[in-house]
């Protein structure tokens, strides 16, 4: 596989190798790919959690268990204002 890198990325990779953090450019790239893989796993896991939370809300709504949005935001604003008053902001 051939990959073309911008001069900025090449300089970054070289600086990482020169700093002694990595023994080669390949190791720098591999570390970057491992971080990308980890980020993707985290995002996928969070997406699955959000889908489950949405289904809980949909099911609650279908049972008639709903809360007025304006009331919720009003309560949140009141709590925020109370915290501001308590902290002296």
Task: Summarize pLDDT for 39-48 with one digit per residue, the tens.
Answer: 999 999 999 9
pTM of the predicted model as reported, rounded to 2 decimal places: 0.57
Q: Would you state the pLDDT for residue 40? A: 96
Q: Would you state the pLDDT for residue 89? A: 63
Alpha helices (runs of H) in the chain, residue ranges in sequence order: 7-18, 25-62, 69-87
Q: What percent of the chain has pLDDT over 90?
A: 76
pLDDT < 50 positions in the chain: none
Q: Would you state the pLDDT for residue 35? A: 97
Of the candidates 18, 40, 53, which has an alpha carbon nearest to the alpha carbon of residue 27? 18
């Amino acid at each position: 596989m051939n990959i073309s890198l911008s001069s900025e990325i090449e300089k970054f990779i070289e600086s990482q190798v020169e700093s002694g953090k990595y023994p080669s450019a390949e190791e720098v790239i591999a570390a970057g790919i491992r971080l990308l893989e980890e980020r993707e796993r985290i995002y996928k896991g969070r997406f699955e959690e959000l889908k489950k939370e949405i289904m809980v809300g949909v099911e609650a709504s279908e049972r008639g268990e709903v809360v007025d949005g304006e009331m919720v935001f009003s309560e949140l604003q009141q709590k925020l204002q109370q915290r501001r008053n308590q902290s002296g902001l």
